Structure 1
């Protein structure tokens, strides 16, 4: 801190920032924005559509006190109830056992070990990673939390906190497994869904204070930073150009796309899009030493996502930042857009040329996606109501009963998260999935009112990142690589944990 205070450079930039902040606060533009904000707020508050979208739904209102909520939550918490009974019955023995006391203590820090799990998962090379490790890790983390709940009366698996749509969604996932055209082929993908569900459940149950949330997120960002560093190294030395990953005519001269510890550059770019906004929140929330580390991580991540040449992820990350800024203070959006436009001339030529191909219908990858959508339409006509069952394996098999793509090949998935979910779980599966996402995002936005500044920034970053990955899901099947699926639901859990913490603040504020 002493070094920071004596740094003329940092003091110079700090003075500039404070000057700009003061000037902006007293400017006519700021007053105009405030007036516009009040006008829009009054207009929306009287809108029937706005009130319908913003109000608490009937299902959501009734969920907490419903028999279904109490029953499902009680079933999930049977292990916690058992260990609490064991602890009460054998408390003297338990307290005399070093192993039991250590296990209980570690269980109280489940959030820390969840962060370590994310660190390891994000740093593991593709050749060394097995998705069974994720299931084993999720089960171990759940068991550790259950063990830690023995001596902690208020510790439980908070299924009710996740709202009604998580239970409904998981119910339809189970039905999609039972109704699969090949239950054997769908079991592996059911394990991925189970892993994701346990991760969300542990995140929202293990976090009770913002400091715990920040430590958990920091560990995940640490893993991403190592992956980003390796991605930057790949970009520096160069990687082999893979023709199947880029149009060699439209993208002539573009170098090979980096992939870091992941199998594909798009997979790596999606990981960066989901976690870099959380890194931005850490940068804003941390003290100077943490700010330096977070800034270094951000620089590595931005450079690495540039080297992936993943256009959908670039759009997703840009949207994530816009949503993040808009949720905190929308008046900075014009400044953000101007800075973005001003940065274009400074972009490397290869990245600038890659940006120009966005929306280019002559690009082979764009053309191939639309071909896959046409082929998917054939399948959906027959299975839109019930779905074919969980997983891309069974969907690939069903695709082979229909006409091929123009090149004689069959799709291996739909290249779209929502079409894929619809094709796997049927109409009720996709509706429950969309209901879950929209419900959680709405709860997140509403919770921004109650959150303290640090929590508000973390929540805004998580919502922005989730909006970004949802948009990417329109052009990519982001769950085809299971590690991305696990990070997707970890991010969902971060939103749920922030909402929980914000809700816990309300009685104190009142």
Structure 2
């Protein structure tokens, strides 16, 4: 009751309504309205826009294609086996309290998916093994299969991932087989498999907006715990690591917090991916209690990403918010940009100084990236068509056959997702990866504009924004180097596809 009657929350809610109303009636708002209508008319008449917007022949024919039908049939073999076993011993199974319990749990697989994400986000680095991700994803998949035994509506909806992801998986498999060191590539194949299972679970286990909201809420709860610990680290102080910050240009900057993730950039990337979903939860919560805790979690996350001093992730989060606003109400974008620029001088001095180093080639970490890019392009001259094989371990080994960087060291990865995929899987793998990205964003944006459910729209706008943000971060960071970040990346992609599914099926959560 205290939260429901919170003066603090009611004040900000009323302030938002006042500002929104003032903006709607302002001269600038009206001018932007007219400009927006003009842009929309121009886009509708643009041949390039119509070409990009229309579904391609491959996407149109995918659900009914033999490849898709075979792919879905293979994915559903465990469910088919579970149903057959259930039918054979129906009387026995129906009388088993254990089976009824496990079956009920399987019917709520989305809860265990959310719990898996929560555990991944709060497990300390020293206690985490990346194999746990695969074991957890496989266990939730097994639970889903058991639940499908007496829930006929449950099936693995593999057709919803689209043709490009399937082709990318084939390229990943090819990169394993053709790797210069298959033994080094094997564990990275396990990471890709885990990621694919997470996408399938999000798409297949979520059947309503309420399901999706609960999955996201559990993931955000894990993020809140990690953020709280990150804020605590900032309070007590952490060791300054010279390799993580230029001590000359960033004089006076404290140690960068990393929470449970060993490296501040890893933590910052996870925050950049999940904070927009946290914002969406704040907007769709039905109770003041939910809004309060969403607001607390959001505040902790924003503070934590500041304390990471991760410049690429700051930019990524800014892009995510701008894309979110562009989808929700694009007229707010220039206002937000203006407010953001005006707020910069009021930031803490260390954060302000850190922002000033963005793009500064005198910064050692920035210069180091360009050395890595130079070495990467040298490697790609020899392996552009086939790649060196799956994983950064193989690439690190190959790099050692080329001249070292000026400091005598060799790159351990390319510091760029796109170059990394090119170097690992070859040009075909890179193109398939770009196809996955384009497919996810295109179907997501189209679903957003065709959907009328407020909750789905908020979640979809946040997921698309977050995905765009991490794509920008991926220009300066290899965001999959830390597997938990990779798992979160594909979980986010799965959220987009789940929203698309809900948009197409017209399913809604309980009011």
- The two structures have a TM-score, normalised by structure 2, of 0.97
**Could you report, residue by residue, the CA deviation over 1:38-79 in whole angstroms, capped at 9, with x for unpaired residues?**
111110001011111111011001101111110111011111
Change in 2 beyond 3 A, CA 1:506/1:268: closer
User: Structure 1 residue 154 and structure 2 residue 153: aligned?
Assistant: yes
Change in 2 beyond 3 A, CA 1:66/1:298: same
Q: Which residue of 2 aligns with 1:165?
A: 164
| SS of aligned partner of 1:163 | helix
Q: Which residue of 2 aligns with 1:180?
A: 179
C-alpha separation in 2, matches of 1:382 and 1:2: 66
C-alpha separation in 2, matches of 1:379 and 1:246: 27
Q: Confirm or deny: 8 A CA contact 1:361 1:367 kept in the other structure.
A: yes
C-alpha separation in 2, matches of 1:159 and 1:274: 24
| SS of aligned partner of 1:448 | helix
Q: Which residue of 2 aligns with 1:410?
A: 410
Q: Confirm or deny: 8 A CA contact 2:326 2:333 kept in the other structure.
A: yes
Q: Which residue of 2 aligns with 1:44?
A: 43
Q: Confirm or deny: 8 A CA contact 1:139 1:198 kept in the other structure.
A: yes
User: Structure 1 residue 191 and structure 2 residue 190: aligned?
Assistant: yes
| SS of aligned partner of 1:361 | coil
Deviation at 1:166, TM superposition (A): 1.2
User: Structure 1 residue 235 and structure 2 residue 228: aligned?
Assistant: no
Q: Which residue of 2 aligns with 1:473?
A: 474
Change in 2 beyond 3 A, CA 1:385/1:12: closer
Deviation at 1:167, TM superposition (A): 0.8
Change in 2 beyond 3 A, CA 1:17/1:487: closer
C-alpha separation in 2, matches of 1:475 and 1:434: 17
C-alpha separation in 2, matches of 1:19 and 1:311: 33
Q: Confirm or deny: 8 A CA contact 1:227 1:260 kept in the other structure.
A: yes
Change in 2 beyond 3 A, CA 1:154/1:3: closer
C-alpha separation in 2, matches of 1:142 and 1:506: 23
Q: Confirm or deny: 8 A CA contact 1:450 1:505 kept in the other structure.
A: no
C-alpha separation in 1, matches of 2:432 and 2:503: 25
Q: Confirm or deny: 8 A CA contact 1:177 1:390 kept in the other structure.
A: yes
Deviation at 1:29, TM superposition (A): 2.9
| SS of aligned partner of 1:316 | helix
Deviation at 1:20, TM superposition (A): 3.1
Q: Give the alignment of 1:43-442 within 5 angstroms.
A: 43-286=42-285, 287-442=287-442
User: Structure 1 residue 494 and structure 2 residue 495: aligned?
Assistant: yes
C-alpha separation in 2, matches of 1:37 and 1:265: 39
RMSD, matched Cα: 1.4
Q: Confirm or deny: 8 A CA contact 1:447 1:503 kept in the other structure.
A: yes
Q: Confirm or deny: 8 A CA contact 1:168 1:432 kept in the other structure.
A: yes
Deviation at 1:17, TM superposition (A): 3.4
**Could you report, residue by residue, the CA deviation over 1:146-165 in whole angstroms, capped at 9, with x for unpaired residues?**
11111111211111011111
C-alpha separation in 1, matches of 2:491 and 2:9: 35
Q: Confirm or deny: 8 A CA contact 1:450 1:506 kept in the other structure.
A: no
Deviation at 1:87, TM superposition (A): 1.7
C-alpha separation in 2, matches of 1:133 and 1:36: 51
C-alpha separation in 2, matches of 1:13 and 1:469: 29
Q: Confirm or deny: 8 A CA contact 2:121 2:222 kept in the other structure.
A: yes
Change in 2 beyond 3 A, CA 1:341/1:239: same
Q: Which residue of 2 aligns with 1:454?
A: 455
| SS of aligned partner of 1:64 | coil
Q: Count residues in correspondence.
A: 506
Deviation at 1:252, TM superposition (A): 1.3
C-alpha separation in 1, matches of 2:242 and 2:351: 17
| SS of aligned partner of 2:330 | helix
Q: Confirm or deny: 8 A CA contact 2:3 2:289 kept in the other structure.
A: no
Change in 2 beyond 3 A, CA 1:47/1:147: same
Q: Confirm or deny: 8 A CA contact 1:312 1:475 kept in the other structure.
A: yes
Change in 2 beyond 3 A, CA 1:2/1:297: closer
C-alpha separation in 1, matches of 2:334 and 2:105: 47
Deviation at 1:92, TM superposition (A): 1.4
Change in 2 beyond 3 A, CA 1:66/1:353: same
Q: Confirm or deny: 8 A CA contact 2:82 2:146 kept in the other structure.
A: yes
Deviation at 1:14, TM superposition (A): 4.1
Change in 2 beyond 3 A, CA 1:19/1:224: closer
C-alpha separation in 1, matches of 2:260 and 2:423: 30
Deviation at 1:428, TM superposition (A): 0.7
**Could you report, residue by residue, the CA deviation over 1:447-492 in whole angstroms, capped at 9, with x for unpaired residues?**
0123311110010000101111111110001111111001111111
C-alpha separation in 2, matches of 1:16 and 1:204: 37
Deviation at 1:324, TM superposition (A): 0.5
- The two structures have a TM-score, normalised by structure 1, of 0.97
Q: Which residue of 2 aligns with 1:482?
A: 483
Q: Which moved more, 1:329-338 or 1:313-322?
A: 329-338
Deviation at 1:11, TM superposition (A): 4.7
Q: Confirm or deny: 8 A CA contact 1:265 1:308 kept in the other structure.
A: yes
Deviation at 1:19, TM superposition (A): 3.1
C-alpha separation in 1, matches of 2:305 and 2:184: 34
Q: Which runs of 5+ in 2 are unaligned?
A: none
C-alpha separation in 2, matches of 1:13 and 1:140: 43
C-alpha separation in 2, matches of 1:14 and 1:285: 13
Q: Which runs of 5+ in 1 are unaligned?
A: none
User: Structure 1 residue 26 and structure 2 residue 25: aligned?
Assistant: yes
C-alpha separation in 2, matches of 1:392 and 1:78: 33
Q: Confirm or deny: 8 A CA contact 1:106 1:144 kept in the other structure.
A: yes
